[in-house]
Amino acid sequence: MIRILRWSALTVAAGIAACSGKAELDPAQQSGAAPDLPAARNFLLPPMQVPDKAGWKEGQTPKVAEGLRIEKIAGDLMHPRQLYTLPNGDVLVVESNSPGSEAVTTPKQLIAGKIKNLSGKGAKGGDRVTLLRRNAMGSWDKHVFLEHLHSPFGVQLIGDAIYVANTDAIRKYPYQSGATEISDPGVEFADLPGTVNHHWTKALLASPDGTKLYVGVGSNSNVGENGLEVEYRRAVVLEVDVASRGSRIYASGIRNPTGLGWEPVTGKLWAIANERDEIGADLVPDYLTSVQDGAFYGWPYSYYGANVDERVYPQRPDLVAKAVKPDYALGSHVAALGVLFSDHNALPEKYQGGAFVAEHGSWDRSPLSGYAVVHVAFTDGKPVGAPQTLVSAFYSDDEKHLFGAPVGLAQDKDGALLVADDVGDVVWRVSKL
C-alpha cells in the first residue's frame, strides 16, 4: 500500500521534472541573422532559474572587457531604468518599475510573481527622474529632477520640451538648459495603451528633426493568454506626430519593443525586442531589428517569420504569411532592455559604430543568459558577427546570487558608456582604461 503511494508520488515528481529542459544551445549559436531554432515544446513546468538578490558589496563592480574600466557614478537610486544625456552633459536617470496594475487571474501568476521577485527585479520604482551632473571634482551630483510620475520609462528632449513616457501617457514638460529641477506640472501630450500593462515599459525616441515621437508598446501577455481583445495597439511601435499629437501604428507584431534607436549610417529606425517564453530554454531568441513602416513581425502568431506558435487560437495563416523576420538574434531569454547606437565614443576602436545592448537577464532558462552589456558591430548599416560582451559578472559564479542587472544605456558628454542597474540601484560608467 505505502509502496504504491510512494511510487505514485515519485511518478508525479519525475514526470514533472523530466519536462523542464535545460538549454542545449550556446547563446552565440542563437545570435545573428539565422539563429538555430529548435522545435517548440510545451512543458508541465517551464525551465526556470532565478538568482536571489544580493546587491553589490562596497567596492564590488561588474567585470569589464579588456581595455575598459568601470566606476560607480551614482548609487542608492530607486530602480533606475533608463538614462538620457541632455545637450549640456547632464544625465537623466528614470527611476521606475511596473505600476503593478495587472490583476492576478491565474494560479501561475500568483506563484511565478513571487519567484521572479526573489531576484529584486520587482522592487518598487521611484516614479521620478534624477539628474546627475559632473562637478569640478570629477564626481557626480544628484538632483531630484522630476517627481510624481507614473511608471515612466522613455524620456526625450525636443527643443525646449522634455517628453516623458509614463506607462499610460506621454507627458510634456518645459525645460531650460542647465535646470536641475522641473516644478512645472506639465501637460498630458498623448495617450498611450495603459490597460493591464503586463508589459508596462514605454520606450520613447524622437525623430532627428523633432517632428515625430516613436513609442515601443509591449504586449499584454506572453502569447495572447489574456485574450486578444486586450492587445489593441499592443506589441507595436507607435508613431506620434508632435505637431498634431495624433498617433498611428508604425509597425506591429513586435512582442515587447523595449528600446528604440536610429542606426546612424542608414538613418533607419531600429528596435530591440523581447520574444516569447515557455516553449523552451532555447526559444525564442530576443532580437535587434530594423523597424519597417507598416511591417508585421509575427507576434503572437509566429516568430522569426513563419515559425508558427500553436498556443494562439484562432491561428492566422494570413498574418503568418506576412510576418517579417527580424534582422539579428541576440540569444534566447537575454531580456534586452536597453539599446544605444553609437557612431563615435571614447571606448576602444572596436566599439566605434554599431549598437550597445543591455541584457537584463533570463528567468525562463537554465543556465542563466543575458545579465550583460554587449556590443553588436555594424557594417554598412547591418549587424555583423556575434555580440561581444563588454560588461558582465552581474551574478555570482554559482548563478545563485544576483548583484545587479543592466537596463538603460546612454553615452555621456565625454563619450563614456553609462549603464543603469535596477537591481543594484546604481549607475555605472564604462570608459577606456
Partner 1 sequence: MASTSMSRRFAFAVYGLLNPIPFGMFVAALIFDITYLRTGEVLWNKAAAWLIPLALIFAIIPRFINLGMVWANRRVIVSGVDKLDFWLNLVAVIVAIFNAFVHSRDAYASMPTGVWLSAVTVALLALGNVLIAARASAEARP
Residue from the set 87, 313, 397, 398 that interacts with partner 1 by CB under 8 A: 313
Residue from the set 97, 222, 290, 332 that interacts with partner 1 by CB under 8 A: 222
Q: Does 44 bind partner 1 (CB under 8 A)?
A: yes
Q: Does 11 bind partner 1 (CB under 8 A)?
A: yes
Cell of 115: 519567484
Shortest distance (Å) from residue 282 CB to partner 1 = 17
Q: Are 235 and 218 in contact (CB under 8 A)?
A: yes
Binding mask 261-280 for partner 1 (x = CB under 8 A): -----------------x--
Instruction: State how far the alpha carbon of 362 is from the alpha carbons of 199, 298, 396, in Å.
Output: 15, 22, 15
Residue from the set 125, 224, 285, 353 that interacts with partner 1 by CB under 8 A: 224
Stretch 74-113 residues interacting with partner 1 (CB under 8 A): 105-108
β-strands 401-402, 52-53 pairing: parallel
Residue from the set 6, 10, 12, 88 that interacts with partner 1 by CB under 8 A: 12
Nearest one of 259, 258, 265 to 382, comparing CA atoms: 265
Nearest one of 282, 283, 294, 225 to 254, comparing CA atoms: 294
Of 28-36, 42-50, 265-273, 359-367, which part binds partner 1 (CB under 8 A)? 42-50
Contact residues for 234 (Cβ-Cβ < 8 A; gap 6+): 193, 199, 217, 218, 219, 220
Of 6-14, 187-195, 197-205, 233-241, which part binds partner 1 (CB under 8 A)? 6-14
Over the Cα atoms of the chain, what is R_g?
21
The residue behind cell 547563446 is 27
The residue behind cell 558582465 is 392
Long-range contacts of 23-28 (CB under 8 A, 24+ apart): 23/47, 23/281, 23/282, 23/332, 23/365, 23/366, 23/367, 23/369, 24/281, 24/282, 25/282, 25/332, 27/331, 27/332, 27/334, 27/369, 28/331, 28/386, 28/387
Smaller CB separation from partner 1, 16 or 433: 16
Of 4-12, 164-172, 179-187, 342-350, which part binds partner 1 (CB under 8 A)? 4-12
Smaller CB separation from partner 1, 42 or 396: 42
153: left (phi over 0), alpha (psi -120 to 50) or beta: alpha
Shortest distance (Å) from residue 221 CB to partner 1 = 7
Residue from the set 10, 14, 16, 115 that interacts with partner 1 by CB under 8 A: 16
Q: Does 15 bind partner 1 (CB under 8 A)?
A: yes
> Could you give the angle at the alpha carbon of 219 between the alpha carbons of 45 and 17, nearest 5°?
5
Smaller CB separation from partner 1, 7 or 69: 7
Q: Does 195 bind partner 1 (CB under 8 A)?
A: no
Residue from the set 26, 34, 42, 415 that interacts with partner 1 by CB under 8 A: 42
Q: How far apart are CA 45 and CA 16, in angstroms?
A: 7
Shortest distance (Å) from residue 108 CB to partner 1 = 4
Q: Does 253 bind partner 1 (CB under 8 A)?
A: no
Q: Does 227 bind partner 1 (CB under 8 A)?
A: yes
The sign of the torsion formed by the CA atoms of 115, 116, 120, 123 equals negative
Q: Which residues pair with 375 in a beta bridge?
A: 356, 388
Smaller CB separation from partner 1, 127 or 278: 278
Smaller CB separation from partner 1, 138 or 314: 314
Of 26-34, 39-47, 66-74, 291-299, which part binds partner 1 (CB under 8 A)? 39-47
Q: Does 167 bind partner 1 (CB under 8 A)?
A: no
Of 11-19, 114-122, 141-149, 187-195, which part binds partner 1 (CB under 8 A)? 11-19
Instruction: State how far the alpha carbon of 256 is from the alpha carbons of 111, 221, 298, in Å.
Output: 23, 10, 12
Nearest one of 432, 392, 391 to 415, comparing CA atoms: 432
Of 41-49, 59-67, 378-386, 406-414, which part binds partner 1 (CB under 8 A)? 41-49
The residue behind cell 563615435 is 344
Smaller CB separation from partner 1, 105 or 396: 105
Residues lying near partner 1 in the complex (CB under 8 A): 1, 5, 8, 11-12, 15-16, 42-45, 105-108, 221-227, 278, 310-314
